[in-house]
Amino acid sequence: MTRHDVPKTALELRSTLTGDGVVTLGIEQFEVDDPTGSQVVIRVEAAPINPSDQGMLFAMGDASRASAVVGTGLPAVAVPVSDGAVAGQRGRVDQPMPVGNEGAGTVVAAGPDPTAQALLNKVVGFLSGNAYAQYRTIDASQCLVMQDGTDPADAAAAFVNPLTALGMIETMKTEGHTALVHTVGASNLGQILNRVCRADGIGLVNVVRSQEHVDLLREAGADVVCNSSDASFHNDLEDALRSTGATIAFDAIGGGELADTLLSAMERVAGEQADGFSRYGSDTHKQVYIYGGLDRGPTTLSRSYGMSWALGGWLLTPFLHKIGKEAVDRLRTRVADEITTTFAGSYGMVLSLEDAVDPEMVKRYAKMATGDKALVTPQA
């Protein structure tokens, strides 16, 4: 590496939670580390704001009350955080935290190791936890090399959503299910999952919350879509479960009664196929995994679905550790090969680092509205 290829300092976003209940998201300057060994330096050109980024960005604060911070030099925004949320995050109080799970860019410098040198001038996606920065020094193993000519904006979301979609399907298969339910079917992740299931011949029940989202998925070729806002939702859901045989669901809503509704509908459908009555319900195992928290309220369960059921949490990183390197490499290869087709994402707004700390933009992208996902472009 030659030092003139990379600036000595660059800009990044950092999130700092204070003990008095304020989280500040601001632009800060940092020193760009020289790469050593198998490390590379990436000129970061695009990084998405995923729902999984929101907790680190705003520390469970109320982003609808975002306000500009004055007198700090570089731009920053402040968001109030409740006492309860602060108490649950004491480990990060007064600690400036880098943010951004994933991104993409061009490798502009590399350490002497051959695995690093092989990535020079390549467009790569990467998973790092600190992607909202102009440059990043990371190990080559954290990079996913794209085909020549790939736009970094296309590669920016090569990890979280694609691997989550594939991980859901791998989990479904491993646990003995043959079809699945997804509760945010029209999201970027939901659209990717729909494309994967169609390509692989897997039954998928898409649950959405508006007719607009129904129309979007229908246009994308989805076979089964249920609108939870319709009066007929419960009957529609049972029909969908009958036609697909889905007995596992992945729920991004989390709070409220949706998980209960899914388990209840699965049990009613399973009961139709049972041999006689049992006080313990059907023998069909019904599984709901909560992997998001769009509703932060309590999860309400009626327990009206026998005893063969389970509710748990699902996260991508533990799943990847569980399946091992060979399986992860197989999934990553598929993502790189199909990044502009099966795993393509879309964005409702493109933000500079300064835009990302503008109070009005924060209020917008923190809503996590379907079709309005944000892409940060640190070089802008």
Work out the percent of the chain whose per-residue pLDDT is above 70.
99
Q: Which domains does the chain have, with CATH numbers?
A: 3-157+345-376 (3.90.180.10), 160-319 (3.40.50.720)
pLDDT at 2 over 70: no
β-pairing, 286-290 with 179-182? Answer: unpaired
DSSP class of 93: B
**pLDDT of the residue at 4:** 54
Confidence class of residue 276 from pLDDT cuts 50, 70 and 90?
A: confident
Contacts 24+ apart (CB under 8 A), 187-191: 187/252, 187/370, 188/157, 188/161, 188/345, 188/346, 188/373, 189/161, 189/164, 189/165, 189/252, 190/217, 191/216, 191/217, 191/220, 191/346
Mean pLDDT of the chain: 95
What value does the mean pLDDT take over residues 33-49? Answer: 97
DSSP class of 64: G
Confidence class of residue 184 from pLDDT cuts 50, 70 and 90?
A: very high
pLDDT at 1 over 70: no
pLDDT tens column, 243-257? 999 999 999 999 999
Cα–Cα distance between 109 and 288 in angstroms, integer?
45
Residues 6+ apart with CB under 8 A from 168: 180, 182, 193, 250, 314
pLDDT tens column, 297-341? 999 999 999 999 999 999 999 999 999 999 999 999 999 999 999
